Homo-oligomer: A and B are copies of this chain.
Amino acid sequence: MTYNRRVTSLEVAKYAGVSRTTVSFVLNNVEGSNISLETRAKVQNAAKELGYIPNEAARSLVSGHTRTVGLMISHAEPLLVDAYIPQLLYSLTAASHQNGYQVMLETIHQGKQNTDYLRLVEGHRIDGLIVLNTWSHDTELPKLIERKFPVVMYGLPQNMTMTDQTFLVEIDGCDAATRATKHLIDLGHSRIAHISFVPEKHDIVQPRRQGYIAALEAAGIAFDPKLVKFGNYSAQSGFDAMKSLLEHQPRPTALFAGNDTIALGAMAAIREHGLRIPEDIAVVGFDDIPTAPFMSPALTTIQAPAILQGKTAIDMLLQRMQGKVPAQQRVILEAPLVVRDSCGANLKPKARGSKKR
């Protein structure tokens, strides 16, 4: 590679007629260093003219930090089919860059429960870590957290308990699921099916299931395990699960789906079965992905605040990386139910409304 281009701080120093120390002080804006405005300007000009950009490896070797946050996605497969993580990614990278941090992506594929992300930490490639999908069999993550490495998670893994080093940005999935299910109950449904992800693989799913059951119990409806199916995060899995639910007699009259993508697949199955939504089967989703308002019919769903969640997580992590203690250890964000057409609530009062969000 004839890729030669190495302006070092020494060259800048020579060019400006000062020492490397001065260059470092000026360019890093070190406080308490009384350097004349004139010298400052000379250095800054020299740096600009030579196109000097410090070598980050050298910088982080001596400073001990990297200005980089790691982003671990334990199950990367949802990226392929679901719209929630991409939104999080957008917000996470935007917030990081705004604060001068780079983002290093560490994904774990195909259920390979590896701990490669530790190399990022131990190899001093990142200053902090955001964990998107926790994976409860990971025994390294709790250790890392206990060692006070800055970590922010999107929910508490099943194999961990809160300690003073646990920092979370989450929604109350149980409460949200209860509200979603209750909404269907209030509309007169009692045979309400639920399709979710495989709980062993996804910590996020347990609260949603619990909330679903809680709502049924609160209404005096017996919980029927046959009305619960597990797929993955994909539309295909929602389609398949719904097909099998439709063979159940008596047929369910409503569905609470574990996410919007599953709901989309399930709705396709319902239509293929010749049934109408919401007249024959009402559907409520979870996440409010951007395409939810444009589904047919527009999807009633729990609005998970992806953008805010990303920004909040970075704010929290930033504080931890600077040695501060965030105001809250556990930030719980609002997740309101957005009523559209798929649940049937808009059926009687008036004709279907506009799809504008």
Q: Which residues of A contact B (CB under 8 A)?
A: 1-3, 5, 51, 53-58, 60-61, 66, 68, 71, 76-77, 79-81, 83, 85-87, 89-90, 93-94, 97, 102-107, 109, 116, 118-120, 122-125, 147-150, 234-236, 238-239, 261, 264-265, 267-269, 271-272, 290-291, 293-296, 298, 323, 352, 354-357
CB closest chain-B residue, reference A240: B356
> Which B residues are CB-close (under 8 A) to A119?
53
- In the bound assembly, the distance between CA atoms of A234 and B291 in angstroms comes to 8
> Which B residues are CB-close (under 8 A) to A294?
235-236, 238-239, 264-265, 267-268
- In the bound assembly, the distance between CA atoms of A290 and B2 in angstroms comes to 42
- In the bound assembly, the distance between CA atoms of A59 and B2 in angstroms comes to 21
Let me know if A106 and B116 touch, CB within 8 A: no
Specify which of B56, B57, B296 is in contact with A296 (CB 8 Å cutoff).
Answer: B296
The 3 lowest CB-CB distance pairs between A and B, nearest first, are: A53-B122, A296-B296, A57-B61
Specify which of B60, B109, B235, B352 is in contact with A291 (CB 8 Å cutoff).
Answer: B235
- In the bound assembly, the distance between CA atoms of A13 and B3 in angstroms comes to 35
Interface centre among A2, A54, A235, A352 (most CB of B within 10 A): A235
Task: Give 19 pairs: A residue, B residue, CB < 8 Å, sorted on A.
Answer: A3-B147, A3-B148, A53-B122, A55-B61, A56-B125, A57-B60, A61-B61, A68-B104, A79-B90, A80-B86, A102-B105, A102-B106, A102-B125, A105-B105, A235-B291, A264-B291, A264-B294, A268-B296, A268-B298
